[in-house]
């Protein structure tokens, strides 16, 4: 069966420090991968999505970037964190069909101090 791993679960980082959040999927090939940020009252804001290795679509211009170095690995990064980067980050994957549902990771609570 397919599983999605996202880590770390919580992270506290100082302003100006780098960031790397990792997400991996097991049990499937060529998944569509997504990074969202969830904030109270704002729902899930789509940050990046990828339909294949090296293919990244960015939805919100900001201080973050994403990479997909392997088929089932999706990384969210920043060179220098801002206070406004604090939030709850969710990784998700879906299969090849447009009508397939998303499967979510357990999320990372990021606090930038």
Partner 1 sequence: AQSVSQHNHHVILSEAASLELGCNYSYGGTVNLFWYVQYPGQHLQLLLKYFSGDPLVKGIKGFEAEFIKSKFSFNLRKPSVQWSDTAEYFCAVTTGGFKTIFGAGTRLFVKA
Q: Can you give the binding site for partner 1, defined by CB under 8 A?
A: 32, 34, 36, 41-46, 49, 51, 57, 59, 94, 98-99, 101-102, 104, 106
- Extract the runs of DSSP E, i.e. beta strands, from the chain: 3-7, 10-13, 19-26, 32-39, 43-52, 55-58, 65-70, 73-78, 87-94, 103-104, 108-112
User: Least distance in Å: CB of 32 to partner 1?
Assistant: 5
User: Least distance in Å: CB of 43 to partner 1?
Assistant: 4
Query: Quick check: 33 and 22 in contact, CB under 8 A?
Result: no
User: Least distance in Å: CB of 30 to partner 1?
Assistant: 11
CB-nearer residue toward partner 1: 13 or 58: 58
């Amino acid at each position: 069966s397919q599983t999605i791993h996202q880590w770390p679960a919580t992270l506290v980082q100082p302003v100006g420090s780098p960031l790397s959040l990792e997400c991996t999927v097991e049990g499937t090939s060529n998944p569509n991968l997504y990074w969202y940020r969830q904030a109270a009252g704002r729902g899930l804001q789509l940050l990046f999505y990828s339909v294949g290795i090296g293919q990244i679509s960015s939805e919100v211009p900001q201080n973050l970037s994403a990479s997909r170095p392997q088929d089932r690995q999706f990384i969210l990064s920043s060179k220098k964190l801002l206070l406004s980067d604090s939030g709850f980050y969710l990784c998700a994957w879906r299969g090849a069909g447009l009508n397939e549902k998303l499967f979510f990771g357990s999320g990372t609570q990021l606090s930038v101090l």
